[in-house]
Amino acid sequence: MITVGVLGAHGRMGSEACAAVEGAEDLELVASVDIGDDREALRAADVVVDFTHPSAVADNLRWCVDAGRHVVVGTSGVGHELLDEVRGRLQPGQGVLVVPNFGIGAVLMMRFAAQAARFFDSVEVVELHHPRKADAPSGTATRTAQMIAAARAEAGLGPGPDATTHDPDGARGATVDGIPVHAVRMAGLVAHQEVLLGTEGETFTIRHDSLHRSSFMPGVLLACRKVAEHPGLTVGLDAFLDLD
Ligand SMILES: NC(=O)C1=CN([C@@H]2O[C@H](COP(=O)(O)OP(=O)(O)OC[C@H]3O[C@@H](n4cnc5c(N)ncnc54)[C@H](OP(=O)(O)O)[C@@H]3O)[C@@H](O)[C@H]2O)C=CC1
Ligand SMILES: O=C(O)C1=N[C@H](C(=O)O)C[C@H](O)C1
């Protein structure tokens, strides 16, 4: 039996994760912690799962690592600096898994986007989410853009063609590692993303839709089961899936 604690337990993802853990025969939910609660309860957990807020995740992650817990981070907004710091804080045998998106389709979308990126002149990312989301661009879009940029750099490709010289309102969107990223917030949506690729006479669109937060739960449970078997810091669920 693997014991699990959830941070952000009252939130949209945290509550879903608590229910999923409670429904799994090989996992036991031993701590449900939300804002204002004492994190000490998490010491009873082999694995702590964080679904809190981009402004809270760094402090939580430091606390969990220093408490010697294995950690699964679902919260968005974990940047390179924090990853480097965490790597240096880890104790031998301790596993931390940071997952921009637990959906299997989203993991594949990111992979396929990176695979396709070198074959097209242009590539842009459009992420679409529910309007209660705190951060933009999404963690998934950021990770996708980073993977695309790395693949293009490896192939010796730079940014896509773009004649824009006048964009006073930022209509061309943000850029992540040089890749344009656009964020839509709209009532009725959950979590969606399109990767648009184009070259002479041809376009290619990769789209993923999470229609319900249950889509993330198989990935969350897999992460809880496997994180202790992967000591060190891992980014992305890919490493825990047999994708090749
Ligand atoms: N990796 C993935 O596959 C997915 C990741 N996410 C990410 O997960 C995060 C949470 O999303 P979501 O569940 O929709 O957000 P919610 O706002 O619904 O839930 C967050 C919960 O965490 C609580 N909280 C905030 N700060 C702390 C803290 N310091 N300690 C403990 N609890 C805290 C909030 O309390 P209060 O409301 O009182 O502030 C709230 O109950 C986001 O970063 C989101 O992007 C979401 C979906 C999938
Ligand atoms: O806030 C959300 O809802 C989601 N957040 C994650 C992100 O920022 O990528 C994952 C998914 O997109 C849902």
pLDDT one-digit tens code per residue, 176-210: 999 999 999 999 999 999 999 999 999 999 999 99
Tell me which residues have their CB closer than 6 angstroms to ligand 1.
7-8, 10-14, 33-35, 51-54, 56, 60, 74-76, 99-102, 139, 216
So what's the pLDDT on residue 244? Answer: 83
151 pLDDT band, cuts 50/70/90, is very high
Interval between CA 74 and ligand 1 midpoint (Å): 9
Q: What digits encode the pLDDT tens for the residues 217-241?
A: 999 999 999 999 999 999 999 999 9
- Counting atoms of ligand 1 from 1, which one is nearest the CA of 220? 3
What would the mean pLDDT of 155-173 be, rounded to a whole number? 96
Please report the ipTM that was assigned to this predicted complex. 0.99
Q: What digits encode the pLDDT tens for the residues 94-115?
A: 999 999 999 999 999 999 999 9
Give percent of the chain above pLDDT 70: 100
Is 174's pLDDT higher than 90? yes
Q: Is any atom of ligand 2 closer than 6 Å to the C-beta of 101?
A: yes
- Is 102 annotated in some ligand binding site? yes
Q: Is any atom of ligand 2 closer than 6 Å to the C-beta of 133?
A: yes
- Is 39 annotated in some ligand binding site? yes
So what's the pLDDT on residue 114? Answer: 98
User: Which of the ligands is closest to the CA of residue 136?
Assistant: 2
132 pLDDT band, cuts 50/70/90, is very high
First to last CA, the chain: 29
- Is 203 annotated in some ligand binding site? no
Q: What digits encode the pLDDT tens for the residues 1-19?
A: 999 999 999 999 999 999 9
**Long-range contacts, 160-166 (Cβ 8 Å, 24+):** 160/120, 160/121, 160/122, 160/123, 160/124, 160/198, 161/121, 161/122, 162/122
Residue 176 forms beta bridges with which residues? 179
So what's the pLDDT on residue 242? Answer: 86
Torsion of CA 214, 215, 219, 224, to 10 degrees: -10
